[in-house]
């Protein structure tokens, strides 16, 4: 695998050497953008809103998994965009940002969502080095990039970010990306000396993505099309070796410039990742609306997760004093479904 990755790196530089670098013809421009998000979430059935009861509070997906009023993150993205070169420093503060960089090893790197520099070698080739969010999957870390506020199982247990070198290559109507990467989510350095190969092929609104290492692979398909001026369809299907298999549909309809509604339907089977019980599956249906007031978007959302087994702890009556041999046994009651309501506010700037 290491010899193969060396060949990939040589290929990336060989592609870039086909163009001759030129000096910046204009001064690069500094940009500042980002978002702030917060939410209210309540369990409707199948669990509890009281974290002290020990019952299920949320599905085992990332973010938006607290009850009551809760914080997402403050996201500040600083960029310098020149004609030939540039950089992005993407900083995230708050629970959502902390969860997104869970393998960071230092306090300072724990606020770095992305940190990379790029070189537009030619009109068709761009080289990027550093830490960037994953190219696999349909959903992303920032709530401004997702329609639904809560996230899918496939997103939650797939990669969040990569650190490495990648080449984006325009091929007419198609696109190609090749990358050499640290182990997944090892964002601030390589802890093992092992590397992975990443690739993405895009055409006609569809992207075939893969990541390969000595003992792991994930193959992923994402696609999205505007069926009409108002109706949008998105698709995601993925297979991660010894981890999970899943598929999802995203349907959204715009009723005005400021209001739309959409639904996500996902099937997810756990094959060893530990999201739910081994070899069991879950179907989640998420109905969301987006209502925008200027730069502020309100996202009311109803979600139900339906397991193939009794896995959500619905209630916990405390100590079982009816058992004389073991009077301090807890007898929880489990069910197959958990439903909740979320109202999120996302401000983008």
pLDDT tens sequence across 14-39: 555 554 444 445 678 899 999 999 99
Distance CA 246, CA 115 (A): 30
Q: In the predicted model, what is the mean pLDDT of residues 108-130? A: 95
What pLDDT is attached to residue 12?
56
Number of H helices, E strands in the chain: 3, 18
SS3 (DSSP) at 140: coil
Q: What is the pLDDT of residues 161-220, one digit of tens each?
A: 999 999 999 999 999 999 999 999 998 899 999 999 999 999 999 999 999 999 999 999
Asked whether residue 25 is domain-assigned, the answer is: no
Contact 127, 16 (CB under 8 A): yes
What tens digit of pLDDT does each residue of 72-107 get?
A: 999 999 999 999 999 999 999 999 999 998 888 777
Residue 22: what pLDDT? 44
- pLDDT tens column, 38-69: 999 999 999 999 988 888 999 999 999 999 99
Q: What is the pLDDT of residue 337?
A: 98
> In the block, which residue shows the tokens 């692979």?
217
Indicate whether 153 belongs to any domain.
yes
Give me the pLDDT at residue 51, please: 85
Instruction: Quote the pLDDT of residue 257.
Output: 96
Higher pLDDT, 308 or 7: 308
Q: Is 147 helix (H, G, I), strand (E, B) or coil?
A: coil
Distance separating alpha carbons of residues 23 and 140, to the nearest angstrom: 34
The answer to whether residue 24 is domain-embedded is no
Distance CA 231, CA 211 (A): 32
Tokens of 187: 């964002």
Give the three-class secondary structure for 276: coil
Q: Residue 5 — pLDDT band, cuts 50, 70, 90?
A: low
pLDDT at 332: 85
Tokens 């090892």 -> residue = 186
| Region of poorest pLDDT, from 10-14, 207-211, 262-266, 340-344 | 10-14
The pLDDT, as a whole number, for residue 336 is 97
Task: Determine the pLDDT at residue 29.
Answer: 87
- Amino acid 330: pLDDT: 67
Let me know: does 271 contact 282? Beta carbons within 8 Å: no
Residue with tokens 């870039």: 16
CATH number of the domain enclosing 334: 2.40.160.10
- The predicted-structure confidence for 124-173, as pLDDT tens digits, reads as follows 999 999 999 999 999 999 999 999 999 999 999 999 999 999 999 999 99
Specify the pLDDT at position 108.
73
Q: Which residue has the tokens 């592609």?
A: 15
- For the chain, the residue count is 349
CA angle in degrees (0–180, nearest 5) for 50-54-58? 65
SS3 content of the chain, % helix, strand, coil (to 5): 10, 55, 35
Cβ proximity of 83 and 120 under 8 Å: yes
Question: How many separate domains does the chain show?
Answer: 1
pLDDT of residue 319: 52
pLDDT, mean of residues 253-272: 98
In Å, what is the CA distance from 82 to each residue of 28, 29, 87, 164, 264? 4, 6, 9, 21, 38
Handedness of CA 116, 219, 285, 41 (dihedral sign): negative
Tell me the average pLDDT of the chain.
91
Residue 20: inside a domain, yes or no? no
The single residue listed with the structure tokens 């914080």 is 71
Tokens of 100: 């997104």
Does position 275 have pLDDT exceeding 60, yes or no?
yes
Would you say residue 130 lies in a domain?
Answer: yes
Residue 334 belongs to what domain range?
Answer: 2-9+33-348
Q: Is residue 332 part of a domain?
A: yes
Residue 83 counted as domain residue: yes
- Domain assignment of residue 26, yes or no: no
CA distances from 67 to 1, 44, 45, 275, 304 (A): 45, 11, 13, 20, 15
Burial of residue 286 (CB within 10 Å: 0-12, 13-18, 19+) is buried
């Amino acid at each position: 695998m290491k010899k193969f990755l060396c060949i990939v790196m040589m290929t990336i530089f060989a592609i870039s050497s086909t163009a001759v670098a030129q000096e910046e013809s204009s001064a690069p421009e500094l940009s500042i953008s980002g978002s702030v998000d917060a939410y209210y979430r309540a369990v409707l059935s199948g669990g509890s809103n009281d974290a002290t009861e020990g019952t299920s509070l949320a599905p085992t997906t990332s973010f938006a998994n607290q009850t009551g009023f809760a914080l997402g993150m403050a996201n500040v993205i600083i960029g310098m965009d020149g004609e030939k070169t540039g950089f992005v420093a993407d900083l995230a503060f708050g629970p959502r940002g902390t969860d997104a960089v869970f393998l960071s090893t230092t306090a300072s790197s724990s606020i770095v969502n992305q940190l990379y520099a790029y070189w537009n070698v030619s009109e068709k080739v761009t080289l990027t080095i550093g830490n960037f969010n994953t190219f696999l999957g349909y959903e992303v870390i920032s709530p401004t990039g997702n329609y639904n506020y809560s996230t899918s199982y496939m997103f939650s247990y797939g990669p969040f970010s990569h650190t490495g070198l990648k080449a984006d290559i325009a091929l007419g109507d198609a696109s190609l990306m090749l990358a050499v990467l640290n182990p997944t989510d090892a964002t601030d350095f390589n802890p093992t000396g092992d590397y992975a190969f990443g690739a993405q092929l895009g055409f006609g609104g569809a992207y075939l993505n893969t990541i390969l290492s000595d003992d792991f692979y994930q193959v992923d398909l994402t696609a999205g099309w505007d069926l009409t001026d108002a109706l949008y369809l998105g698709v995601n299907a993925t297979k991660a070796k010894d981890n999970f298999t899943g598929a999802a549909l995203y349907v959204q309809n715009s009723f005005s410039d400021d209001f739309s509604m959409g639904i996500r339907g996902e099937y997810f089977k756990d094959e060893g990742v530990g999201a739910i019980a081994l070899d069991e599956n879950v179907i989640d249906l998420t109905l969301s609306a987006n209502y925008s007031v200027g730069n502020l978007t309100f996202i009311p959302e109803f979600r139900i997760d339906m397991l193939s087994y009794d896995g959500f702890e619905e209630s916990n009556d405390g100590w079982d004093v009816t058992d004389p041999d073991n009077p301090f046994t807890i007898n929880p009651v489990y069910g197959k479904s958990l439903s909740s309501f979320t109202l999120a506010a996302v401000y983008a700037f």
